[in-house]
Amino acid sequence: MEAAIMTGHDLQAGTVTGVRSVRNPVTLARHVMHHSDFVMMSGEGAEEFASRQGLPLEPDEYFFSQLRHDQWQRALKRDQVTLDHSDDKKFGTVGAVALDSQGNLAAATSTGGLTNKKYGRIGDSPVIGAGTYANNATCAVSCTGYGEYFLRALVAHDISSLMEYKGLTLQQACDAVVQHKLVEMGAEGGLIAVDKTGMPVLSFNSDGMYRGWVRKGEEPSVAMFK
């Protein structure tokens, strides 16, 4: 599993990758941000740090899901690495972005990665600027999709840069990256983002993306497909 968290007011971040027994990897990422001198920790070292921090660890059985196991078996038979964005149910990447009452932005992403990914593979979620990014001057972004493309395009930071350097709105920046740049690369996926005014954008080029958003004084909204 892998996860990342970033705060926009100070550009601090914490990420973990290659962990398998930490109950909540994003909590570990937050501890890396607040209680270490590092940004990214991986594998056994990350799990040892989690233990020293007193975070809950669980056996393999705790993480078992019949649905995800069946998805994996189908992918194995086809010898494919797949997303789960188009299935009837989705239990893959989870992301969150927020603007607080003080004007601070934050983003967090947690995932188990692609179905049938190779051992040792690292996706975009724990890489700051690729799958996760927050900057008070622009926006907070959390991505989901085929991570290799998001890594190569530095999607999350690219959106922030388009706003900062070209003066695009969040919607314009997301459209440029998700609906054009990624599509031209042959990439499938999407993202959730919020800018410094609290305007949310939820952009994707896959069949669907489970998503929800809420603003002060408004009813919460949820959606699954286009």
- The answer to whether 15 touches 40, Cβ cutoff 8 Å, is yes
Q: Taking Cα atoms as reference points, which of 5, 14, 15, 11 lies closest to residue 122?
A: 15
Sign of CA dihedral 88, 113, 169, 154: negative
Q: Taking Cα atoms as reference points, which of 162, 152, 151, 165 lies closest to residue 193?
A: 162
Query: In the annotation, is 93 catalytic?
Result: yes
| Options 17, 27, 93, 138, the catalytic residue | 93
Residue position matching structure tokens 């990420």: 15
For residues 49 and 35, what is the distance between their CA atoms, to the nearest angstrom? 10
Catalytic residues: 93
